[in-house]
Structure 1
């Protein structure tokens, strides 16, 4: 059977709703999102946290829709276009500001849904988080065992809940091993291709209201990266897992192709505290 893996990554998308940091006007939001210093930081984290693991996937059969506005400033627009030329799995969706955020997300992904697929594995990829290099392979392979459960409702979530939380401040990078239930990274929503829904239609923190779910905690599968520009910065429900004498540098390099020393250097260079959000880092 054909399991399409379809991701959505919003890179500084200029639209309404869908975010916890709100603005009164589109002009205010544009000024916030397109601030040169902010965009420089966002691109650095995207390039050094998110992209390495995606480009190194052991199963390259996936589609990642990069959703942004048609007026995203250069050099970032040009760099996104260049990425789609280098890696054909990446598709650029230029969506004008739309107040109804779910409609905007559907407009971005609809052209890339394979109608002939038996099931579509939707996943949301925030532009400063990461998935492990075997995420696509496992999410496709593991569906075979979950298929009877999926058939009950035509909806199913699979949560790879073991991961790492990285916090970037002016002091550098801290690493915390966490089990997080239904975090954004490492969460797959399986739907029929004609469902007319995206991963964004099902808030991850209350996914159990919408569908049955399977928890797969055995492998380190995601990085939740907390930094000054997070929209929320909340870690999510869960707890620490024990590790003796951790070698975070090696683990991050092997599982996510992330260079921890370079992240440390960048965090100190940006010299910013955690974001001013009520639950940042909690």
Structure 2
């Protein structure tokens, strides 16, 4: 039997994590408190939430519904600090996918919020196999099937890590036209997975690129495993087709053909809507 498969999405979670806002701040320090105040203003800005809710519904949840292997669970972690109207909207969206469990946590960091959930999901076969997914990304329809196959293959290794490194990517920054790209880099964040030795420890305890150096790793270069949006305001460096980045520009027609082939559950008009919504925020 394969250990349970559990995906995790941090949806506007207010608390310490691997975000740039908390770099070089000590837990409990005034610098951390100030970073949290700034994060609260950013996370719960109405324009940002409108965009995030739309990408979560049209991309993330759509890809979960489309999975060919339905035997998985998906935790959506948010904060009790989220304004109540948005909480109710998030509850309604999450209720549309049977595998989703929504949690509004009072915890001040991701690890503490997830520990009791992950402990409860562990079975006799050991810790759950976890994967991470952001609320502006989605997975190919057979992602869970690939991950379950990897878990069976890596059963004798105990802890292991897994990646589908090929992705389609749309980059759209203020003042520039959208760029359509192929992104190839093992253990990018979308769909990075691991089975850890401690049941209560979450995949977010490790930087996603570190996973392949810390654990035996299986990398499958076959499918396009994810579709990722890199729009103005995302919490990482600007993404562009540059040498060594793993990002290669694609003609829009080629991009859309691959999107239709590997992500047939998506309405391509949704990408245009998301870009228009993001442009309205700038």
Give the secondary structure class of the aligned counterpart of 2:83: coil
Which residue matches 1:62? 72
- Comparing 165-174 with 135-144, greater Cα deviation is found at 165-174
Which residue matches 2:111? 102
Give the secondary structure class of the aligned counterpart of 1:130: strand
Deviation at 1:220, TM superposition (A): 0.7
Deviation digits for residues 17-52 of structure 1 (CA, Å, limit 9, x no counterpart): 431134715443222211111111111121222221
Give the secondary structure class of the aligned counterpart of 2:75: strand
In the TM superposition, structure 1's runs of 4+ consecutive aligned residues that sit over 6 Å from their partners are: 241-245
Q: Could you state the TM-score of these two structures normalised by the residue count of structure 2? A: 0.83
Give the secondary structure class of the aligned counterpart of 1:195: coil
Q: What does 1:152-231 correspond to in 2, within 5 Å?
A: 154-169=158-173, 173-191=178-196, 195-231=199-235
Give the secondary structure class of the aligned counterpart of 2:76: strand
Q: Distance in 1 between matches of 2:251 and 2:16?
A: 45
Deviation digits for residues 183-210 of structure 1 (CA, Å, limit 9, x no counterpart): 1113210235x53311112211222332
8 A contact 1:2–1:118 mirrored in 2 = no
Q: Distance in 1 between matches of 2:40 and 2:107?
A: 10
8 A contact 1:173–1:263 mirrored in 2 = no
Pick closer, same or farther for the CA change 1:241–1:35 going to 2, 3 Å.
closer
Which residue matches 1:7? 7
Pick closer, same or farther for the CA change 1:31–1:86 going to 2, 3 Å.
same
Deviation at 1:119, TM superposition (A): 5.2
- What's the RMSD between the two structures over aligned residues? 2.8
Structure 2: unaligned runs, 5 residues or longer: 23-31
Q: Distance in 2 between matches of 1:245 and 1:268?
A: 17
Give the secondary structure class of the aligned counterpart of 1:18: coil
Deviation at 1:118, TM superposition (A): 4.7
Q: Distance in 1 between matches of 2:77 and 2:180?
A: 29
8 A contact 1:70–1:95 mirrored in 2 = yes
Q: Could you state the TM-score of these two structures normalised by the residue count of structure 1? A: 0.83
8 A contact 1:156–1:213 mirrored in 2 = yes
